[in-house]
Structure 1
Amino acid sequence: MSRKSPPPSVRQRRLGAELRRLRERTDLSVTKAASLLGFSQPQVSGIETGRFAVSADRVRSMARSYTCTDETLVEALADMTGGRTRGWWEEYRDVLPPDALDLAELEHHAVTLRTAAVIHLPGLLQTRSHAHAVIGDAVPPISPPEVEHRVSYRVKRQAVLYRENPTPLTAIIHEAALRMGFGGPEVARTQLESLLDLSEHEHITVLVIPFGAGTFPSSGQGIHYLASANPALDTVQLDTDHGSSFLDTQPQLAKYRRVLDRMESCSLEPTESRDLIRRVAADI
C-alpha cells in the first residue's frame, strides 16, 4: 500500500493563498482564471489551496495574467515554488505535530528572525539540557522517547544560526525568563553562559527587558517573526498551549512588527543586556 502524501505545509498554503489574493484583486473567478491561464478549474483551486505544486514560470505567468506589477513580490512568490522542502525536519514527520515541521521549514527560508519571550527563553537559543527540562515538564506528560524527539528537533532548528550564511536573529527576552531557573542551578547557569556566548555573535542580537521597565505589549505570549525576502510574505508564529498559530495577513503582520518594535524600545542595549545576564548568572 502506498504511503499517503503529507498535507501541504504552511509555506505551500501561503503561496496558494497569495496567488488567490492576486486573482481576487482582479475580480476574476476561478472559472475565468482557469480559462485565461489555460488550466482546468480544479488545477487553479488545487494550486490556491497548496495541494498542487506549481513551477516558478507558472507563478510568473499567473501573476502577469492577474496584472500584478510588483516584480519583487512576483519573484519572491516564484522562490516559494517546487513543493515541500525536503529538509532535515522530514525525519520527524511521524513523531512530531505538523506545525513543528512547518516552523522549521519557515525558519529555513527566512531572511531574518525576530523573537520575543517572557517566561521561556527562545527555542533557538536553548541548550539541550534547558530544552530537556522544559519539554520534560509538559502537560499532559509525554513519553521519554517523545521528549527526546522534541529536544533533538529543537536543537536541530538552531542550524539556521550556524550555517554558512547564518540567519540574523534578534531575541527580546524579559528578565523573568533569565531568572526562572528551569532544570536547577547548574542547568540554568550553563544556559545563561551559553546565551552570553551566543549574544557575542555578529548576527545574533540579545536584548533584555529588565524588571522595572514598566508595561510592554504582548506580555503573555512568545512571538516569532519570520521575515521573507518580501515583507508581504512574512509570517508570525505564536506559541500556545495547543501548539503553533501562524499569522500572515497584512494587518496581523503590521501589528506584530509594531509590538516587537515597542518591546525593543523597552529593552536594554546589547551591552547592558549582557551585563544583566552576567549578574543573573552570578546570583544563581
Structure 2
Amino acid sequence: MQVKSNLGPVGPLPRPRRQPPTVRLRRLASELRRLREDAGLSQTEVAEKTDVNLATLHRIETAKAKPQLRTLNALLDAYGVTGDRRAELVALQREAKQRSWLQSFEAGLTDQYTALISLESEAEQATNYESLFVPGLLQTEDYARAVIRAVLPTATDAQVEDRVAARMRRQALLEGETPLRLWAILDQAVLCRTVGSETIMSDQIAHLAQQGSRPHITIQAIPFSAGAHPGMLGSFIVLKFAPDNPDVVYIDSMAGDLFLDKEADIQRYNYMYEHLRAIALSPAETLALLASSCEDH
C-alpha cells in the first residue's frame, strides 16, 4: 500500500524523523572522544569502567545520540574532568538539542534541509558556489517562490509558502551585530536564466547588487568567457564554524543531499572554491555585471 507524503505518493511508510546533529552536539562528541583518547582508554575499556553500553558510547562519540546527564557525568568521572571544564561540557549537553525558530517549520521540511538550516545558523562563515540558482540567503521572496514552485511541482500552495517563509527566516543570519559572513560565487547563467518573470529577475538582480555592497557579503560571478571550470560539477556550500569545530560541506543534488565533514573532503572543496574565486570577476566587476544584467531583464 502506498501513502502520501508532503510532496506526493511514496512507497513504504516513512521512517521516524531523526533530528540532525547541531554544532553543539558535534562539539560535545568531539570533546568526549578527545578526552577518552587523552586518558589512553579504548571504547571497550570505558564501557567496562562506566557500565555505558559500547554501542551507546559509539553513538555519543559520533554525534548520533545526545548523552543523558548521568551518562555524561559517568564519562567525565572516568576521564577525571572537574571544575570549569566539566561545567562547560555539562552546559554543552544541556544546549545540544536547541532548535530555536526551526521547530515551527520542521513538519514540512526534509531532514536534509533542516540539517542545513541548523548548521547554517551556528556557522560563522559560509562560502557558497551556485551554478543555477541565486543562493537561498540572497533570494527575494518572489524569486524564492518561483524557484520552489518550479523544483517541487507536486507541492501544495501551503507547502510552497512554508518553504518560502523558512527561506526568508534564514536570511536573518545576515542581519544583526555579528551577521554570518557570506561569500557567494555565481555562474553567469544564474543571472541570465529568467525565473518567474522579467520583473522578478530584475528585482532579484537589484537585490544581489544591494547585498553585495554590504561589508560582510561578497559576491563574485564567473563569466561565460571563463569557459569550463570546476564548478560545472555542481553547487556546494562550505560552512565554517568557530575554532575546534570542523567545517561541513553541503551538496544539494537530484541523487540526495550530502553532508561531508571528513578532512580530505573539506580540503578538496575549499581548494575548489579558491580556484573558482581566482577565475571569477572581482566583486567590483561583478557589481557592474549585475547592473548590466538588471538592464537586460
Matching residue's letter, 1:213: A
Asked whether 1:211 is paired with 2:224, we answer yes
Are the structure 2 counterparts of residues 199 and 47 from structure 1 closer, same or farther at C-alpha, using a change threshold of 3 Å? same
Q: Aligned residue for 2:10?
A: none
Q: Aligned residue for 1:11?
A: 22
- SS of match in other structure, 1:219: helix
Matching residue's letter, 2:169: K
Given candidates 53, 77, 83, the residue that maps to 1:41 is: 53
TM-score, normalised via structure 1 length? 0.83
Q: After superposing the two structures, state which structure 1 stretch, 234-243 or 249-258, moved more.
A: 234-243
Q: Aligned residue for 1:51?
A: 65
Contact residue 216 and residue 263 of structure 1 kept, 8 A: yes
Contact residue 129 and residue 236 of structure 2 kept, 8 A: yes
Asked whether 1:96 is paired with 2:96, we answer no
Query: Shift in Å at residue 241 of structure 1?
Result: 2.3
Contact residue 172 and residue 207 of structure 1 kept, 8 A: yes
- Following the alignment from structure 1 to structure 2, what is the Cα–Cα distance between the partners of residues 41 and 261? 44
Aligned length: 271
Given candidates 201, 205, 208, the residue that maps to 1:195 is: 208
Query: Shift in Å at residue 138 of structure 1?
Result: 2.1
Query: Shift in Å at residue 97 of structure 1?
Result: 1.1
- Following the alignment from structure 1 to structure 2, what is the Cα–Cα distance between the partners of residues 138 and 25? 49
Instruction: For 1:214-253, list aligned pairs within 5 A.
Output: 214-230=227-243, 233-253=246-266
Contact residue 17 and residue 111 of structure 2 kept, 8 A: no
Query: Shift in Å at residue 14 of structure 1?
Result: 3.5
- Following the alignment from structure 1 to structure 2, what is the Cα–Cα distance between the partners of residues 80 and 217? 39
Instruction: For 1:1-284, list aligned pairs within 5 A.
Output: 7-11=18-22, 14-15=26-27, 18=30, 22=34, 23=36, 28-35=41-48, 38=50, 40-41=52-53, 44-48=57-61, 49-53=63-67, 65=79, 81=93, 82-230=95-243, 233-284=246-297
Q: After superposing the two structures, state which structure 1 stretch, 266-275 or 207-216, moved more.
A: 207-216
TM-score, normalised via structure 2 length? 0.80
1:67-121, Cα deviation, whole Å (9 max, x unpaired): xxxx9xx9x9888642212211110121111222211111111011110101111
Query: Shift in Å at residue 44 of structure 1?
Result: 2.2
Are the structure 2 counterparts of residues 85 and 195 from structure 1 closer, same or farther at C-alpha, using a change threshold of 3 Å? same
- SS of match in other structure, 2:195: coil
In structure 2, stretches of 5+ residues that fail to align are: 1-15
Are the structure 2 counterparts of residues 191 and 78 from structure 1 closer, same or farther at C-alpha, using a change threshold of 3 Å? farther
- Following the alignment from structure 1 to structure 2, what is the Cα–Cα distance between the partners of residues 54 and 252? 32
Contact residue 19 and residue 111 of structure 2 kept, 8 A: no
- Following the alignment from structure 2 to structure 1, what is the Cα–Cα distance between the partners of residues 89 and 259? 18
Matching residue's letter, 2:20: S
Contact residue 110 and residue 167 of structure 1 kept, 8 A: yes
In structure 1, stretches of 5+ residues that fail to align are: none
Highest CA radius of gyration, 1 or 2?
2
- Following the alignment from structure 2 to structure 1, what is the Cα–Cα distance between the partners of residues 46 and 259? 28
- Following the alignment from structure 1 to structure 2, what is the Cα–Cα distance between the partners of residues 175 and 119? 9
- SS of match in other structure, 2:196: coil
- Following the alignment from structure 1 to structure 2, what is the Cα–Cα distance between the partners of residues 79 and 211? 50
Alpha-carbon RMSD across the aligned residues, in angstroms, is 3.2
Are the structure 2 counterparts of residues 26 and 219 from structure 1 closer, same or farther at C-alpha, using a change threshold of 3 Å? farther
- Following the alignment from structure 2 to structure 1, what is the Cα–Cα distance between the partners of residues 38 and 237? 29
Identical amino acids, percent of aligned pairs: 27
- Following the alignment from structure 1 to structure 2, what is the Cα–Cα distance between the partners of residues 216 and 186? 30
